[in-house]
A and B are shown apart, each in its own frame.
Chain A
Amino acid sequence: MNEPLEIINIKLTVNGFIVNAAVAARKHLVDFLREDLGLTGAHLGCEHGICGACTILMNGELVRGCLVLAAQANGSVIETVEGACESGRLNQLVDAFQACNAAQCGFCSPAMLLTAGELLTRSTKPSREEIREQISGNYCRCTGYQAIVNAVEFCFDEVASNE
């Protein structure tokens, strides 16, 4: 593939399904997920990498969906909040968000869940400082963050007490 094109054929895995598509070169991954695949869990906020509302997982790592072209995602494995919730792996975190009133308008919540969920995969007892560091790239304009940090902390406590 050594010829520049305006329409790019891509093949990638989204929430466990293999997807083949032809996309405009300029289309970023979140528009592709939302418009072409109907996965509206990743939200578009600032569209230049500041607000974090479009956060998704690419090959298991957190990325800004608005700062990845769909064409760049060719061959990758994508997980959105839909996939993460359907698999049940975020259940405890969702419950904790509910219990602690960590969602108000809900615009930031899908990205917050994925971002906090990533911390669950590599930490057992983070400090509040570490939780804040983890979600520092995700804006919430309602809660003041306190309730979100509470929810994540609560979730870690729940996970620990169940073990």
Chain B
Amino acid sequence: MVEDPKELKYTKDHEWARRAEPDAQRLVIGIPRHAGESLGDVVYVELPKVGSELKAGQPFGAVESTKAVSELFAPISGKVVRVNEALAASPHTVNEDPYGQGWMVEVEPAEPGAYEALLDVEAYRQLIAQ
């Protein structure tokens, strides 16, 4: 079982965000282990194009399993600068390595402070324990 990493931030809509490398102003976004597990085997990930604008709280893509579809909600507003193209060929990576190779998009945030306002791991754990 993979623990939810402490250094990441989370949202009530079940996304995680972390600072990108080397440019720490940018954020990488994915979905937590718990979200992938409740969805089941991921068979398709629909992601936005590089250059598109995300709006905090609004859907920007979708994750589909054999049995259900779940929309992705943007943790923060900003511009997509990189998309994980590898998920097209191996969507199951979202289940297998949710915090590593299963990342989804990299975003240039519109507001620098938005990241700090997201949930920390404890708050997220409490949320999914409910």
Are the chains A and B members of one assembly? no
Hey, which bits of chain B sit against chain A, CB under 8 A?
A: none
Hey, which bits of chain A sit against chain B, CB under 8 A?
A: none
